[in-house]
Amino acid sequence: MGPIELEESLYLFEPDEEERARLNNQHRVLIRLIENRILHAPIDPSAIATVADVGTGTGIWLDALATHLDAIPILTPAATDQVQRQYDGLDMTPANFPAAQSHPDNFHYDVYNILQPVPEERKGKYDLVHVRLLAAAFSKGQVDIAVDNLVQLLPKLTGDFAREGPGGWIQWEELDGDSWAGRVPSPHVREMSELGRKHMEAKEWELHLFPQSVPAAFLKAAKAHPSLQNVSEKIYNTVTHGYEIKDAINSTWLWSCTRSAKMILLASGKSNVEEEMQRLEQGARRDIERGGLFWDSDEHVLLAQRKWQINT
């Protein structure tokens, strides 16, 4: 599959050094928010030999996962002849990939759009498929397509009888539409959020089609999928779980909010974008500092496991 041009992508942010820094900073804050858990129970780390990180960005989540997993032996029968775990980062925006010389030879990065058919060589290849913050990638109804494609990446286990696990896992971390904007009582933040809301509604993105949201759409699609079981959700709230990193959360959410608002304004052809963004960003900072405000958001951790299937 050839590279996907930015204009063909739903990705809102331009892939530059600022965006790579934003993604890496965002990762560090989100991991702390979910209590530094790179994997979530009941996923068994010893059963993971191959990993796909869909929407990998800079690959920072894969790096963190490898640090966690590589100290744990692989105990699955299929991995008896495997020396190293395999880490594959997949994204439709390859400009954010790490340089080839910066990662070990068991890390690979490739262009893939989760809404496109799964390449034959990737079907059934992965014990774990990870997804994070792809809400702005989906128009209405496309989460079903994404879930079906994610299932195809997991091994199709068969046997003479049905049983519970051990099947491959999907782990998806996402914000709902309300949480992307953040429940923060700042008129300047609301103004930027309204720019994003109108932009996303115009494109019919799933994120802002209330009461539906990407986490809700995932749960619905996963529970209805005939090849998935053990579907679950845990919600981590910034106020409840992240008060000790309040400043980092405020800074990270504001960074994303202002950057997305700027991209939308630039795409609109307005002539005074820099002045407008200076007004909005400085105003939001003053609102947060003077009011002691905290960006109130929910991070959803969604899990689903592939079923064993009966031989026919």
Domain boundaries, given as residue ranges, for the chain: 6-310
Between 300 and 161, whose confidence is greater? Answer: 300
Give the span between the Cα atoms of 182 and 257, in whole angstroms: 9
Residue range 209-219, pLDDT digits in tens: 444 688 999 99
pLDDT of residue 2: 34
Residue range 257-269, pLDDT digits in tens: 898 899 889 888 8
Strand partners, 302: 172, 233
Give the span between the Cα atoms of 58 and 80, in whole angstroms: 30
Residue range 161-190, pLDDT digits in tens: 444 445 899 999 998 877 766 788 899 999
Residue range 7-60, pLDDT digits in tens: 344 455 667 788 888 899 999 999 999 999 999 999 999 999 999 999 999 999
Supply 106's token pair: 């068991």
pLDDT of residue 68: 95
Q: What percent of the chain has pLDDT over 90?
A: 54
Give the span between the Cα atoms of 129 and 302, in whole angstroms: 12
Strand partners, 158: 309
Q: Which homologous superfamily does the CATH classification assign to the domain defined by 6-310?
A: Vaccinia Virus protein VP39 (3.40.50.150)
Q: Is residue 289 within 8 Å of residue 246, measured between CB atoms? A: no
Stated pTM of the model: 0.87
Sign of CA dihedral 162, 119, 62, 206: negative
Residue 92 reports pLDDT greater than 60: yes
- List phi, psi (to 5°) of 243: -65, -30
Give the span between the Cα atoms of 270 and 193, in whole angstroms: 18
Q: Which among 108-112, 132-136, 195-199 has the top mean pLDDT?
A: 108-112
